[in-house]
């Protein structure tokens, strides 16, 4: 049996016709950039995230970068974040000229350890970028209260967290702004690159509308130093179709995660994350295991696809190894040697989930 980590073939079998209609609508409209599909998608996704504004961008990396620019981040500033994330979180910070400052994670949740944030704050600290890793929200009450005390902004890296809830509130409305990625494998993925920023802050919104479109107020008048980073009409039309299914897809993933959780609960070699009262959106289902590399190889031999998100923490990457925090990230380093992402998509069949479980149980027997 072959069990995939994600399965686009099955996705297209389900929604392919609606997607083709959406694309045809755009082709026939003659509007390909900054048109009605984007406007509608931005309205719909803002409502989904319980915020007033959504600004489509060319990618999640750009969403983070442009949000940081709109928040006036630049050379000399320090931004606190985690090191067990996709490189783009820190790349976006570094591209503004600011310095990413990494704090360690909690072993239980794999999320930023909020008890360590205040120690990392200096006179240069301007903001915190918590990452809602794998689809589980960071401890936003703690993070927001630290930010308020120290006059810092909070930018959620929600690139993996479409549809995740923190207590009862969705990712995207939990800080000053949030950045999402629509990379194809994400819970809400385009069929190409895409991203967006969500916010309730009208001033940020007004800046971001200019920043993503060459800094121009109208066709011929460039008010600020802007960029070209827009979510195109075809991707917006695709995302509008998929947004209608997102709730059902996440529910299905939560069901599958429930089956995995029960099955793995009494295997000592597998450490599961705690949900901490939040609603995990399961962009990825990640376990921390003993003998990770051997297990990965064994699963691969049996036809089960897995990946590691992420094997090299950012403070160990050549580009960031000069960043502060290098010696202290023990949990981040430990988990990088243990984590494994198992197959997780809404079209997994019961027999495939059971197959994955049986193989893992067999490996540790």
Ligand X SMILES: Cc1ncc(COP(=O)(O)O)c(C=O)c1O
Q: Which residues bind ligand X (CB under 6 A)?
A: 59-61, 85-86, 88-89, 131, 157, 159-160, 181, 183, 193, 195
Nearest Cα to Cα of residue 341 among 82, 133, 112: 133
Chain length of the chain: 365
Find the shortest distance in angstroms from Cβ 281 to ligand X. Answer: 13
Nearer to ligand X, 85 or 114 (CB): 85
> What is the CA angle 21-30-13, rounded to 5?
20
The answer for 332, left when phi > 0, alpha when psi is -120 to 50, beta otherwise, is alpha
Find the shortest distance in angstroms from Cβ 174 to ligand X. Answer: 15
Sign of the torsion angle spanned by Cα atoms 161, 166, 172, 175:
negative
Find the shortest distance in angstroms from Cβ 218 to ligand X. Answer: 29
Nearer to ligand X, 229 or 264 (CB): 229
Nearer to ligand X, 60 or 170 (CB): 60
Find the shortest distance in angstroms from Cβ 96 to ligand X. Answer: 15
Nearer to ligand X, 106 or 352 (CB): 106
Q: What six digits make up the tokens of 72?
A: 């006036």
Find the shortest distance in angstroms from Cβ 288 to ligand X. Answer: 18
| Nearest residue relative to ligand X (C-beta) | 60
Nearer to ligand X, 143 or 267 (CB): 143
């Amino acid at each position: 049996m072959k069990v995939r980590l994600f399965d686009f073939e099955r996705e297209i079998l389900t929604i392919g016709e609606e997607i083709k209609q959406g694309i045809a609508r755009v082709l026939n409209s003659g509007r390909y950039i900054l048109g009605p599909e984007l406007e509608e998608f931005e309205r719909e996704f803002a409502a989904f995230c319980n915020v007033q504004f959504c600004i489509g961008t060319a990618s999640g990396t750009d969403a983070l970068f442009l949000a940081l620019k709109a928040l006036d981040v630049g050379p000399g500033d320090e931004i606190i974040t985690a090191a067990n994330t996709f490189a783009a979180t820190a790349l976006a910070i570094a591209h503004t000229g600011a310095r990413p400052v990494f704090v360690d994670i909690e072993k239980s949740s794999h999320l930023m350890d909020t008890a360590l944030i205040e120690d990392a704050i200096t006179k240069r600290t301007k903001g915190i970028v918590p990452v809602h890793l794998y689809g589980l929200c960071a401890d936003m009450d703690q993070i927001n209260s630290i930010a308020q005390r120290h006059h810092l902004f909070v930018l959620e890296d929600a690139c993996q967290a479409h549809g995740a809830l923190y207590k009862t509130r969705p990712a995207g409305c939990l800080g000053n702004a949030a950045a999402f990625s629509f990379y194809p494998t994400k819970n809400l993925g385009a069929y190409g690159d895409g991203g967006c920023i969500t916010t309730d802050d009208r001033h940020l919104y007004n800046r971001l509308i200019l920043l993503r479109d060459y800094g121009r107020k109208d066709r011929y008048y460039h008010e600020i130093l802007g960029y070209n980073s827009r979510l195109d009409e075809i991707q917006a039309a695709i995302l509008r179709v998929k947004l209608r299914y997102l709730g059902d897809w996440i529910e299905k993933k939560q069901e599958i995660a429930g089956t995995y959780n029960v099955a793995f609960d009494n295997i000592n070699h597998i450490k599961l994350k705690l949900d901490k009262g939040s609603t995990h959106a399961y962009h990825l289902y990640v376990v921390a295991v003993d003998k990770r590399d051997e297990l990965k190889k064994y699963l691969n031999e049996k036809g089960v696809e897995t990946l590691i998100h992420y094997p090299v923490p950012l403070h160990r990457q050549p580009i960031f190894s000069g960043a502060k925090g290098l010696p202290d990230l023990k949990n981040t380093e430990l988990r990088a040697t243990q984590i494994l992402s198992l197959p997780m998509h809404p079209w997994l069949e019961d027999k495939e989930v059971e197959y994955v479980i049986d193989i893992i149980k067999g490996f540790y027997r």
